[in-house]
Amino acid sequence: MLIERFLKYVSYPTMSSEKNECCPSTEKQLKLGALLSEELSALGLEAEMDEHGYVYGSLPSNCGEGHPAVAFIAHMDTSDAVADSPINARIIEYKGGDIVLCEEENIVRSAPGDGFIGKHLIVTDGKTLLGADDKAGIAEIMDALERLISGGEAHGDIKICFTPDEEIGRGADLVDLKKLGADYGYTLDGGALGGIEYENFNAASAVVKIKGFSVHPGSAYGKMKNASLMALEYASLLPADEVPEKTREYEGFYHLCDISGSIEAAELCYIIRDHDMKKFEEKKKKVLEAAEKINIRYGEGSCDVILKDSYFNMREVIEKYPYVLHRAEEAMREEGVEPYSTPIRGGTDGARLSFMGLPCPNLPTGGYDFHSRSEFAVVEEMEKCADIALRLMKNTAKYGK
């Protein structure tokens, strides 16, 4: 049932859009939200989707009071980095080597690694992303809930929240923590089985706007200011080696996501990331200093930067609530999985929620190569991730607040 759920969910295109200020940023997310709200209600939860597309569910304790209310959270939207429809997903048994995603168009992805040999992988035809980020998390939560309820297992209060717009950094913006009513929570939005993530990047966005001046090129001497060339010059002022493709682990970066321009105007869109707050602030300072250099060279008002913080490293919050991590580790070991921790080279709703007052580390889903045409999910890992979620739900019966 888990995999059938997942394949159904990924058939719903739910790409979010940073260009739209409304919430949800795209109406198509509401279609999946409505389905999930209906399914939660059918399972017996008190469920609703609010006017902003947030889906809430509540399953009251069946073993009395005095137990913690635990939230399980995942996001409905997918990245805009790759097309989100039509998603043609299929399951293959991986036997090694490269994977032919689409034989007709000779679309081939490189070998994912020998560690996947003998496992069943869910892949696409290489023309779209898969959507395991984060519909794998949604499917695993729903599967765990269904088994918890059908099995009559004892449990404390279980809270559910499916959010829109996580991929554009707004997933936690309008979460109603009072309505959710949880003491702590877990996002299911990670990758490889066993990973418990509670360290993430400090994050900001920077939109660099450059103004040029256009005249006929034959009489441009001393007059023209080519905004496109100024944009290239601006990019050259940032450290060339501090980019995603040249950094790893705790190393931060400047990521140029988009660039457009003409002679009269140009725009560069960056995201800025670093685990260390001091280095994070230094990176933001360099972005502003680069703009000052452009203005000194080409005149005041030539370059303007709109800098906005997105989220911060949740480690400082989670470390105040070690039991939240210990309970996740316990659940994994009870399901035969050895937990480990690695820094997230990204962010989750859990980071924002932690600073809002809901300690919320991130758990795995069994998905890989997110935001790409090569994205895939491992059936066996998804099943185990759902088992871990179920274990966490059952364990609430033995914990006190």
Give me the catalytic one of 39, 77, 189, 274. 77
Q: Which of 186, 110, 128 is nearest to 348 (CA)?
A: 186
Q: Which of 390, 401, 398, 379 is nearest to 332 (CA)?
A: 390
Tokens matching residue 385: 């991730």
Question: What does the alpha-carbon distance between residue 55 and residue 75 come to, in Å, rounded to a whole number?
Answer: 10
Residues 181, 69 contacting (CB under 8 angstroms): yes
Contacts for 337 with CB less than 8 Å, ≥ 6 apart: 193, 194, 384, 388
- Is 166 tagged catalytic? yes
Question: What does the alpha-carbon distance between residue 262 and residue 260 come to, in Å, rounded to a whole number?
Answer: 7
Q: Which of 35, 33, 45 is nearest to 71 (CA)?
A: 45
Question: What does the alpha-carbon distance between residue 5 and residue 118 come to, in Å, rounded to a whole number?
Answer: 23
Residue matched to tokens 């709703």: 349
Give me the catalytic one of 166, 199, 369, 387. 166
- Is 104 tagged catalytic? no
Integer-rounded Cα Rg, in Å, for the chain is 23
Amino acid at the residue 46: E
Catalytic residues: 77, 166
